[in-house]
Amino acid sequence: MKRSFDLKLSEIRVGIIVGISFFLGVLAILTYGKVNELFSRQVPLTILFKNVRGLTTGSPVRISGITSGFVKSVHFVQFQNGRYVQVIIRITKKRLSELSSETTATIRTQGLMGIKYLDLIPGDLSKGPLNIGLPITGQNTRTLETVLGSGNDLVKSLNHVSRSLDILLLQAQEGKGTVGRLLTNPDLYDNLNETTKTLRSLVRSMDSGKGPLPQMIHSTEMTEKLDMTLTRLNELLSALNDPHGTLGLIAHDPKTALDLSSSLDHLTIILGQIAKGKGALGDILYNPRMAERMNDTIDKVNGLLDDMKKDPKKYFTVNVHIF
């Protein structure tokens, strides 16, 4: 009877030890990420997100990867006419000096188990310290769903490109289009081959120095003439840049340019009047009666010249007087 009582007492002890171990394990899980902070002084901070992507109370908070606190609460709020998810965290007070006014927050995933944690990005400390009375802006994170969605769009685009290539290849095999004709029409291939041979022959002739073009390329005299031409062109450009020369005066002097423009305007007016048949030149060019008179006059002059050739004595008389 005593032995049975001792056995039950030992079983009770084992049960108590197992229960305490289970309780400590549950406590460790619930306080994941904040065990080291239980006995340190902490300050609360508020962060606003559009979507927390499964972040829960008790998740760890890190500053540039260093565990510095935990998530205290997660709930919906109305802020500036918008609906947000408010995340209140508690971080170690000694870590507060590491945060600037440009601090932002993002939600990340750790390991294969997909444990969510909140990462604070300090920003530029020279911009001033963080104001704990203002909420921190939470950045949107790319989830697996968005990545897969982008991948699906990419796959659809690749499928569309693949179908287009299949159509082009089919048309090429049937001899349709430019590529198809190049692949299936022997005449085009022969012409291309002949053109290649001609180009090859031309290159060889240029290398050998035969013909006018190779002589221009290999001739020293032609090179000197080209160099002289370029020199004169540079002199002409220099004259244009010189404000004291005639060309430079036209190019740089506003009065000369204005006079030239005025002269061109007058010339345009005169040519316009001539084109309309006004004035003596316009009358000569466009008046049919004037043209007939001129033709008649020319005919008479030609007749007079012919008559003078036939009988010059009729028009030229030489009198000799002797004193």
Judgement on whether residues 261 and 239 belong to the same structural domain of the protein: no
The count of domains in the chain is 3
In-domain check, residue 152 = no
Q: Say if 179 falls within a structural domain.
A: no
Domain closes at, from 118, 142, 166: 142
Residue 219 sits at φ, ψ, to 5 deg, of -75, 130
Give 274's contacts (C-beta < 8 A, 6+ positions apart): 281, 282, 285
Rounded CA-CA distance 300/292 in Å is: 12
In which domain, by residue range, is 214 found? 207-244
Burial of 277 (0-12, 13-18, 19+ CB in 10 A): middle
Same domain membership, residue 36 and residue 76? yes
215 and 300 housed in the same domain: no
Same domain, yes or no, for 226 and 263?
Answer: no
Q: Residue count of the chain, please give it.
A: 323
pLDDT score at 2: 47
Q: Which two tokens stand for residue 39?
A: 């006995």
d(CA 207, CA 264): 51
Residues 39 and 135 placed together within one structural domain of the fold: yes
239 with 283, same domain? no
Question: pLDDT value at position 215?
Answer: 65
Of 93, 119, 142, which residue is a domain's last?
Answer: 142
Please give the structure tokens belonging to residue 179: 């590529």
Looking at the structure, tell me whether residues 112 and 130 fall in a common domain: yes
Locus of tokens 């020293």: 220
In a domain, 298, yes or no: yes
Report yes or no: 136 and 47 within 8 Å, Cβ to Cβ.
yes
Whether residue 82 is contained in a domain is answered as yes
Instruction: Judge if pTM exceeds 0.75.
Output: no
What pLDDT, on the 0 to 100 scale, is given for residue 45? 92
Output the tens digit of pLDDT for each of the chain's 323 residues.
Answer: 445 545 566 667 777 887 888 777 766 655 554 445 455 688 999 999 988 888 889 899 999 888 889 999 999 998 878 889 999 999 988 888 889 999 999 988 887 667 889 999 998 888 889 988 889 988 876 655 555 555 566 677 777 787 777 777 777 677 676 666 666 767 767 777 788 888 887 777 666 666 666 666 666 777 777 788 888 888 877 777 776 666 666 666 677 767 777 788 888 887 777 777 777 777 766 777 777 777 788 888 887 778 777 777 666 665 555 54
**118 and 213 share a domain?**
no
The CA distances from residue 302 to 63, 78, 97, 299, in Å, are: 113, 110, 115, 5
As a whole number of angstroms, the distance between CA 132 and CA 109 comes to: 26
Asked if 213 and 135 sit in the same domain, the reply is: no
